[in-house]
Structure 1
Amino acid sequence: MVKVGCDLDGHLYDTKFSQPIPWIGIYIAAASLLCLIGMAADALLGFRRRKFWFPCKFFSLNATSLTLIAVALKLSVDLNTPMPSHRDQLAKLSSSAFVCTIIGNSMPSLGAMENKEILMNVMALGILVITIIVNICIQFATGVIYVFWQEHALIMFLMLILLLIMFSSALTVPTTKHFLELKYKKKYELALKECSVQTGGTIIDKTKFKLMKFWIMAHTSSPQFVMGRSPTCTASGAFCLLSALILAEAMLRSYFLPWSFRFCTGQSDYKWSTILILAIQGAAVGVGTIAPACRWFIAINFRCPKVNNTSRKMEFKVERYWIETLLEMKECPINLRIFNRRHRKLAHAAKLFCLKLCIQMQIGIVLMCKVVQLISISVVSTLLACHNLCRKWKYKLNKSDSTCFRSGTESQSDSKPDLSRFVLHLQGEEALVKVVMRNNCDATDHWIQVGESRQPNLLIKLLEKSSIMQGFKQVGAFDSDLVPSLHAEEPPNSWSLPLVTLASIALALPNINRNSVKELMFTLTESLPYVKLVEHCVDREGKLINIRRAAEIVWHGVDLYHKWLDVDLHELSVEAKSSKEAVEKLAEAAKARYERLKIENINICIKASPSHWPIKLLAANSMFRLCQTSLLSSECTSDLRSERLFEEITVVISDILGACLTNLLHVMSAKCLDSTIEEREDNVGQAVHILGKTKKIIEMLDSSEFPCFNSSRSTNIDDWRIMHKQKKNQLPSLPSSPQSDNETSFESSDLYLTID
């Protein structure tokens, strides 16, 4: 190991200082490559899903990406490393252009952030960009950058303009989100009201029509889509494209016209790593410009549907939502402890002056973006006019084929319902309604078709064994009241815990066909995701969170290792002489674990409600009760009885699943509303996908005419147990049961129609 310090004369021994710099260059190239991969993934995802505003999913502003960006831009802030050759100077320029690409590419990600995240991330990026601009100016003065100064100056100007545009866009995000959220809720109520009075058609058609409305609303109010079609994002795309062209021009001149520059001889401390940095960052600028350029082009189409009409004038009007946040800040008093009245007046006057200046700057930036948009429209409209002329010429050559195609398209479009009133738009975006309707942005048909190709066939086959026409009567019998309680108060039931517990009992039964057991296990694996969706919707307040986690842990052990907690179910099925013995051993093991866990957690069991007991304690209590119920309901004495008990358990599981899935329509409706505006488009898409996957199940449940099978309320398993008890005792009305989502319970007189 070489020591670095002073020699015998006291001079600094610095020959080793620059040796690690090529490896630092590799570090810069690696960070740039990660940024390139993120931007490329967003571009590919946008093309694949036909989202040509290219929402930021993999490359957005956050702590991780900002750290990578800071590493990737080290060349721009390196003040004293000499960069003599032409590739060194180009690497400096590519690093500057990369800043513009990053800002333009990440602009829509502002819509996916919370207000505090927007402030922190934009401020962090602003500090980084200002630092880069200052350092480049210093390098001009010191001579580190001695060529391409015009290109650097233009890119720095674009860099500053893009940063101001990002600040301007960030100010509007909270206001637009709030406005579109209020508009979504009003349109949501209108859609529900229209669907409630709709007559005719199957339940699938009605649900699909309702989800089509929700999809259009969620799609057009998506914050990233709103940001992507805004004038500021349009202008940022144009500036980003311009910076990429400047870099391309400098690279072409340096390689094909080398005599027009005077480059210095020598080698940079980065050595061969500058070639790697230049190649990766040049590719990153090229790939990263795709999304901003496409947003620029598509946003022009949104703003000007009739692009061939070049005489159309744009209204240079700054809508109120651009300055709403600044106006609210202007009206708010200063929260500073200033006791002197004169000083308070001075502080208030200074605040008003600063905010007035900010408002004028905001108006100026928006007007500048609209001017850029107008210039862009003038250019692009000419190109599109030529494109339309070519299409007309091609149409005349294939008139007969085109006529048939057009008539088919028109008949198809005519069959589509008019959903223009559900297109959510901001002030000044009236043209968006026609564009959305013309481009047929409804994706419900696609997601339903995808869902239909992935239907849960095993679940459908199992539901055919259920007592569907008798109101799933086994739901009221799986946990008998005749079983003595292990505690003074019983915990509530969830949908999933009885299912995995019954599957554990079925797995422990001896002399059962292994293929039947495997089929049951595969069916539950296919079914539990739907059960979890229902439970998440029903248990909004999280009162059953421990019970749901207990089911997940039990199923994890049963599915992977054929173990219930630490009991080997396969070994138990081999050793047991009869099904009765197997069930008794399971009950004894559950009771023993319950007693031991209760002693270990005595303070929790005394103070907390049963729903908040430890997870394994809840699982043991459920296993004990269901085993005892099985022993009470049947005499398990022979191998024949084992097959019979297995079939009975299968029917109980199918009944519980069927009753649980009566909440499907409510789940779909809730996913369309109970989510943040940033996640709503994805949630509505998931709801449509669920409709396609469960289409046959919904038709099966609808054929039995369940009164509770609708989207206005959700039911838990204890509701069904109470309903069946009332039916058995012939009670006139259903007593109120605790609803996890604070909804009114259904009437028992209606439920008699289901059971009878």
Structure 2
Amino acid sequence: MDYSYDLVDDYNQALSPLRRCNNISSNLIEDLWLILFKLHQQKRFSKPMPTIGMYIALASLGCILAMVLDILHSLQNKKSWIPCKYFSLNAVSLTVIAVAVKLPMDLTNPMTGDTDQQTKLGSVAFMCIMMTFLLPSLATMSKKELVTNIIALGLLVITLVVNICIQINTGLVSYSEDMHVPADTLKLREIFGFSNREIAITYVAMLLMLLMIYISSALMILKSKQDLESKYQAAHESALIVQQQAGQLTVENLKQHVINYGIMAATSSPQLMTVCTATSSASAVICVSISLLHYFKMLINLVIERRYKAFDSDYKWSTLVIFVIQSIGIALGAIALLFRFRAPLTFKPFREEIWNLTKFYEVESCWTHTLSDWKHNRLYSSSSPNFKYVFYKLQILGLTLLTLSQKAIVITCKAIRIIPMLISICVFYCVRRFLFGLVSLFGIQLRRQPNRDIRQYVLQPQDNMELPDVALYFIIKSVERSIQNAEKQQPSKFMKLLKNFRDFEGVKEFDSLLVQSLPGLDYPDCWSLPVVTLATIALSLRMIQPSTLKNFLNGVSEGLVYVKLVEKSLNNNDELVSIQKAAERLWLEVEVYHKWLGNNLKDPDFRVKTAIQIVEWFNDKATNMVPVVESMGICANSMYRITKTIMLSYQANNDQVSQEDLFAQLSSMVSSIVAACLTNLPQVITLKCHTSAIEKREESVHAAATLLGKTSKIINTLKDRVPASLNPEEFPFINNWRGHLTAPAP
């Protein structure tokens, strides 16, 4: 409801005594009326501000929770350098960050209380912490994503800097309540010698420095990822040679293979490479300094808050909530950056490490390589020779200046980290000597040292870095832990189904070569479709005990998970993929709705039908099916061929088969086909260890380790059952198996 008209009457009544005074002009009364009305409107419009403040607090809390998840993930995987997994630079995080730093963007709301001022400046410090925390995530991006996100972050930072500068100029960031502060408090401020204005200027300088560090790191990442890729490919070729020399891929061989690739993936991590750079170390030093300044200022304000009002803005009590949450985020980020400052890579000898610090003025080629490439390539084309010449000269001049700026930034970053790095090195070596002294004094047993031969798979992100044994040990243990945890999740229901497996004859028997496909529906075979078709017939046999059918259903469901994985990895041509998708949709219908292409598998008539009658029913349905979509035709053709094969088999032998006998035969065929398919698991695991995307290699290796752990019993069960005459290249395709099994013996 709009109360403006009621206010007009109220104000007129309140000002009526003044109107009766002859010595007060009517213009002054009208001005007073307008002032009262505007003050009321301003108070009315500011009512939602505490809610907006809570929105800012929630956005800040979301950023902190993402940082906590990254820290917990790092602790779990023994990565002290804290890679960005959940909190990374993207459109979502930038939007949330923009909300979290809204207070410094507010140009109109006077925030005169000391807590108000501290909260506004604390948001800028929180922004610096988040920028440094997010720096390694640049290495996970493609070239296009890198450019897009750097531009988006640059716009946000520049907007924030401009807004802060405006507030510094207008006095919104200042001690605007100095007149209300006691004399002893003012004296305290003079002693410590800084004000909100000076802190704001410092934060602005740090924001701009961090933005330059982002741009500098992005230029370095493009080249360094290429170098890491070259090192990885060389190690990959060595690993393949070792694998070929090992012969049969047993579980033990596969474990060692996964560990080798785990070391390669972990040490070639683009994020680790970024953390080991001078820009990352310098940004950590900057942000730890900012956090110390923030908390020192907060300590001073705790004394001042006892003497006058701490916050006095339209955000009201929400300012204190924002301040507390963001201060927690600043402390958490600073602690994380302290750990990241000293990445789990150590320089070689102590003296050489100190000597490397003194050569801070040297700039490696990876920092300027991208700019050098741009300098030698024309970035602009024109039909006019004169314009070509002018633009090329401007291009050379601009890129030369950028190269000099890049070198200046790198040298500055190296200089910034000298003293903290020197202290870190000395403390590190003192602690190390102390621990070695304890070992020698008390005879403490150190953890098992990694095999020295395995170091050929270690890829150094920086040439002057060396991975210590303890870091290598943690990498190996991380992969082994993934395998061991997965071994507790063996597919027990499928293993019960696999007990029906005797040999691979079911691969040959499920589909006779004498049966022709339905007209116009001739499709090649894949692994999953015959399994789904055979399981559908088996699940329709209502004379079988419900518990037996349930166990069979669960076993097939677990087995199909790995069958689909084999098909996705090894049978990925377009024709087979369409058949696999049809089988997947059909199994969803069978498993969830107990139907086959709309026909109910729990039909009560199946209880009185014989086994052959049920098979004939499916055959008739498949024959008379009118395929509306391609997947229906694929499924109908598979059902027709399989049921026709079963009917021909029993007609040739004049057998009267019971539902129990048919169920046993179908179950044996299913286990035989799935077993033949899963002989490809070792090949799938080795393929999963290696992926072309450098950013996803660690994740892929751990997925391979998990798959190995879950399927180790299956691999051990099948390792000696594969026909010796079948070439490994023929394993992935069911038609090759059928051709081999149906071929006459030599």
Deviation sequence 1:321-377 (CA, Å, 0-9, x none): 22211111111113333x332332221111111111111122222222223333222
CA distance in structure 2 between the partners assigned to 1:292 and 1:660 by the alignment? 48
CA distance in structure 2 between the partners assigned to 1:616 and 1:3 by the alignment? 67
Shift of 1:185: 2.1
Aligned to 2:270: 223
Q: Is the 8 A contact 2:173 2:200 kept in 1?
A: no
Q: Is the 8 A contact 2:53 2:322 kept in 1?
A: yes
Shift of 1:429: 3.8
Shift of 1:395: 4.0
Aligned to 1:197: 245
CA distance in structure 2 between the partners assigned to 1:708 and 1:552 by the alignment? 32
CA distance in structure 2 between the partners assigned to 1:288 and 1:528 by the alignment? 45
Shift of 1:490: 0.9
Q: Please, which of 273, 296, 316 is the counterpart of residue 271 of structure 1?
A: 316
Question: Are 1:30 and 2:58 counterparts?
Answer: yes
Q: Please, which of 145, 163, 166 is the counterpart of residue 138 of structure 1?
A: 166
CA distance in structure 1 between the partners assigned to 2:430 and 2:315 by the alignment? 49
Deviation sequence 1:520-549 (CA, Å, 0-9, x none): 111122222211210111133443222222
Deviation sequence 1:304-330 (CA, Å, 0-9, x none): 355698754434332222221111111
Matches within 5 A, 1:617-656: 617-634=633-650, 641-656=658-673
CA distance in structure 1 between the partners assigned to 2:397 and 2:548 by the alignment? 78
Unaligned runs of 5+ in 2: 10-29, 176-195
CA distance in structure 2 between the partners assigned to 1:212 and 1:381 by the alignment? 30
Q: TM-score, normalised by structure 2?
A: 0.87
Q: Is the 8 A contact 1:665 1:711 kept in 2?
A: no
Q: Is the 8 A contact 1:39 1:59 kept in 2?
A: yes
Residue range with higher mean Cα deviation, 493-502 or 456-465: 456-465
Question: Are 1:174 and 2:222 counterparts?
Answer: yes
Question: Are 1:242 and 2:289 counterparts?
Answer: yes
Shift of 1:434: 6.2
Aligned to 1:610: none
Say which SS state the counterpart of residue 111 (structure 2) adopts. Answer: coil
CA distance in structure 1 between the partners assigned to 2:239 and 2:411 by the alignment? 37
Q: Is the 8 A contact 2:74 2:81 kept in 1?
A: yes
Task: Supply the AA of the counterpart residue of 2:333.
Answer: G
Residue range with higher mean Cα deviation, 573-582 or 370-379: 573-582
Aligned to 1:456: 491
Q: TM-score, normalised by structure 1?
A: 0.86
Aligned to 2:713: 696
Shift of 1:89: 0.8
Shift of 1:70: 1.0
Aligned to 2:449: 413
Task: Supply the AA of the counterpart residue of 1:622.
Answer: S
Q: Is the 8 A contact 1:452 1:692 kept in 2?
A: yes
CA, structure 1 residues 202+384, in 2 after alignment: closer, same or farther (shift >3 Å)? same
CA, structure 1 residues 109+543, in 2 after alignment: closer, same or farther (shift >3 Å)? farther
Shift of 1:74: 0.8
Task: Supply the AA of the counterpart residue of 2:226.
Answer: H
What is the count of residue pairs matched by the alignment?
695
Q: Is the 8 A contact 2:276 2:462 kept in 1?
A: no
Q: Please, which of 345, 363, 366 is the counterpart of residue 302 of structure 1?
A: 345
Shift of 1:238: 2.0
Shift of 1:65: 1.0
CA distance in structure 1 between the partners assigned to 2:525 and 2:355 by the alignment? 65
Q: Please, which of 114, 126, 133 is the counterpart of residue 86 of structure 1?
A: 114
Q: Please, which of 610, 626, 639 is the counterpart of residue 578 of structure 1?
A: 610
Task: Supply the AA of the counterpart residue of 1:136.
Answer: I
CA, structure 1 residues 106+708, in 2 after alignment: closer, same or farther (shift >3 Å)? farther
Say which SS state the counterpart of residue 658 (structure 2) adopts. Answer: helix
Aligned to 1:548: 580
CA distance in structure 2 between the partners assigned to 1:708 and 1:4 by the alignment? 94
Q: Please, which of 548, 552, 569 is the counterpart of residue 601 of structure 2?
A: 569
Q: Is the 8 A contact 2:104 2:160 kept in 1?
A: yes
Aligned to 1:604: none
Question: Are 1:100 and 2:117 counterparts?
Answer: no
Aligned to 1:366: 410
Q: Please, which of 272, 281, 284 is the counterpart of residue 326 of structure 2?
A: 281
Residue range with higher mean Cα deviation, 384-393 or 121-130: 384-393
Aligned to 2:590: 558
Deviation sequence 1:362-415 (CA, Å, 0-9, x none): 222222222333322211133334434553564466x14x1xx23xx4xx426x
Say which SS state the counterpart of residue 490 (structure 1) adopts. Answer: coil
CA, structure 1 residues 264+450, in 2 after alignment: closer, same or farther (shift >3 Å)? closer
CA, structure 1 residues 710+223, in 2 after alignment: closer, same or farther (shift >3 Å)? farther
Say which SS state the counterpart of residue 617 (structure 1) adopts. Answer: helix
CA distance in structure 2 between the partners assigned to 1:167 and 1:495 by the alignment? 50
Q: Please, which of 253, 258, 265 is the counterpart of residue 211 of structure 1?
A: 258
Task: Supply the AA of the counterpart residue of 2:345.
Answer: F
Say which SS state the counterpart of residue 432 (structure 1) adopts. Answer: coil
Q: CA RMSD in A?
A: 2.9
CA, structure 1 residues 569+380, in 2 after alignment: closer, same or farther (shift >3 Å)? same
Q: Is the 8 A contact 1:302 1:435 kept in 2?
A: no
Q: Is the 8 A contact 1:216 1:441 kept in 2?
A: yes
Task: Supply the AA of the counterpart residue of 2:645.
Answer: T
Say which SS state the counterpart of residue 216 (structure 2) adopts. Answer: helix
Q: Please, which of 683, 694, 702 is the counterpart of residue 685 of structure 1?
A: 702
Residue range with higher mean Cα deviation, 233-242 or 703-712: 703-712
Max Rg structure: 2
Deviation sequence 1:216-235 (CA, Å, 0-9, x none): 11111122222222222222
CA, structure 1 residues 435+328, in 2 after alignment: closer, same or farther (shift >3 Å)? farther
CA distance in structure 2 between the partners assigned to 1:178 and 1:510 by the alignment? 61
Say which SS state the counterpart of residue 501 (structure 2) adopts. Answer: coil
Shift of 1:710: 8.5
CA distance in structure 2 between the partners assigned to 1:637 and 1:139 by the alignment? 96
Task: Supply the AA of the counterpart residue of 1:24.
Answer: I
Say which SS state the counterpart of residue 79 (structure 1) adopts. Answer: coil
CA distance in structure 1 between the partners assigned to 2:678 and 2:353 by the alignment? 56
Aligned to 1:487: 519
CA, structure 1 residues 347+513, in 2 after alignment: closer, same or farther (shift >3 Å)? same
Aligned to 1:318: 363
Q: Is the 8 A contact 1:665 1:710 kept in 2?
A: no
Question: Are 1:155 and 2:187 counterparts?
Answer: no
Aligned to 2:531: 499
Deviation sequence 1:175-204 (CA, Å, 0-9, x none): 2222222322222122111232247x9822
Q: Is the 8 A contact 1:53 1:229 kept in 2?
A: no
Aligned to 1:609: none
CA distance in structure 1 between the partners assigned to 2:51 and 2:609 by the alignment? 70
Question: Are 1:658 and 2:675 counterparts?
Answer: yes
Q: Is the 8 A contact 2:543 2:607 kept in 1?
A: no
Q: Please, which of 405, 425, 449 is the counterpart of residue 460 of structure 2?
A: 425
CA distance in structure 2 between the partners assigned to 1:680 and 1:663 by the alignment? 21
CA distance in structure 1 between the partners assigned to 2:696 and 2:487 by the alignment? 24
Say which SS state the counterpart of residue 130 (structure 1) adopts. Answer: helix
Q: Is the 8 A contact 1:42 1:57 kept in 2?
A: yes
Matches within 5 A, 1:440-479: 441=476, 443-468=478-503, 472-479=504-511
Deviation sequence 1:521-579 (CA, Å, 0-9, x none): 11122222211210111133443222222222222222223222322212257544222
Unaligned runs of 5+ in 1: 602-613, 733-756
CA distance in structure 2 between the partners assigned to 1:714 and 1:332 by the alignment? 49
Q: Is the 8 A contact 1:499 1:653 kept in 2?
A: yes
CA distance in structure 1 between the partners assigned to 2:295 and 2:674 by the alignment? 61
Q: Please, which of 30, 35, 46 is the counterpart of residue 74 of structure 2?
A: 46
CA, structure 1 residues 543+183, in 2 after alignment: closer, same or farther (shift >3 Å)? farther
Deviation sequence 1:99-141 (CA, Å, 0-9, x none): 1111111111111111111111111011111111111111111
Say which SS state the counterpart of residue 345 (structure 2) adopts. Answer: helix
Task: Supply the AA of the counterpart residue of 1:194.
Answer: V
CA distance in structure 2 between the partners assigned to 1:186 and 1:55 by the alignment? 25
